[in-house]
Structure 1
């Protein structure tokens, strides 16, 4: 599994498409769940938000061995005043930490440039 993190609109999806030769049919965008038969789970933070807002723990869907997971880094900036937003931010952080431990590679994308962390 490969994890790609970075801020909003920094080029994570473009990087993933190029690096892993992903086509449109490989991409799974969150819509009340993921199609886990697809190789790339896009914008994991949205799935985390839905779980937190519903008051339930986030559970990572089963991943393929060759999965690519893209997650927007929501940890930077001003700490939100709303409780749900703060809990979401914390849960995203815990989730990417757990994914990073399991991942074969972790890449941060910033300003369209990739930096391999693992």
Structure 2
């Protein structure tokens, strides 16, 4: 599993699109799509996890683990918070839940790449198989 993370509109999607050209790719919006893999998928790209509640985050983590044995899994993760603590309790809870999820996700990932305004920085492992 590969995790590509960074701030909003920093070039994460373009980076991934460039890396997976010519392959059979299934894009999944974690907020909207039902987590079912299509039969001809070589690569699944999941995005939008930063908008999910804790229980749904845990469900997605299970799907990602299971899929990682069958296809190449890429998660595009938008960094939220940047160390700023929101004033509203619900926003704080979301930031905390996503932070804990990202810790688990990044630990399980073979590679982690940060994208900062279009520039890739490998944080962990090889970028791609």
Please report how far the alpha carbon of residue 57 of structure 1 lies from its aligned counterpart in structure 2 after TM superposition: 6.6
Please report how far the alpha carbon of residue 35 of structure 1 lies from its aligned counterpart in structure 2 after TM superposition: 3.1
Please say if residues 17 and 23 of structure 1, whose CA atoms lie closer than 8 Å, have aligned partners that are also in contact.
Answer: no
2:46 to 41, 56, 76: 41
- Gaps of at least 5 residues in structure 2 are 39-43, 125-129
> Alpha carbons of 1:44 and 1:101: their partners in 2 closer, same or farther (altered >3 Å)?
same
- Gaps of at least 5 residues in structure 1 are none
Please say if residues 10 and 109 of structure 1, whose CA atoms lie closer than 8 Å, have aligned partners that are also in contact.
Answer: yes
Q: TM-score, normalised by structure 2?
A: 0.75
Aligned positions of 1:19-98 closer than 5 A: 19-21=19-21, 26-37=26-37, 39-46=44-51, 48=52, 51=53, 56=55, 58-61=57-60, 62-63=63-64, 64-65=67-68, 66-76=72-82, 78-98=84-104
Rounded to whole Å, the distance in 1 between the matches of 2:19 and 2:50 is: 21
Larger strand share, 1 or 2: 2
Give the structure with higher Rg (CA).
2
Post-superposition Cα deviations, 1:70-114, rounded to whole Å, max 9, x if no partner, equal: 110003153211101001111111111101111010000001111
Post-superposition Cα deviations, 1:23-71, rounded to whole Å, max 9, x if no partner, equal: 795211134444341601012102x2xx25xxx5731420221110111
Q: Aligned Cα RMSD in Å?
A: 2.3
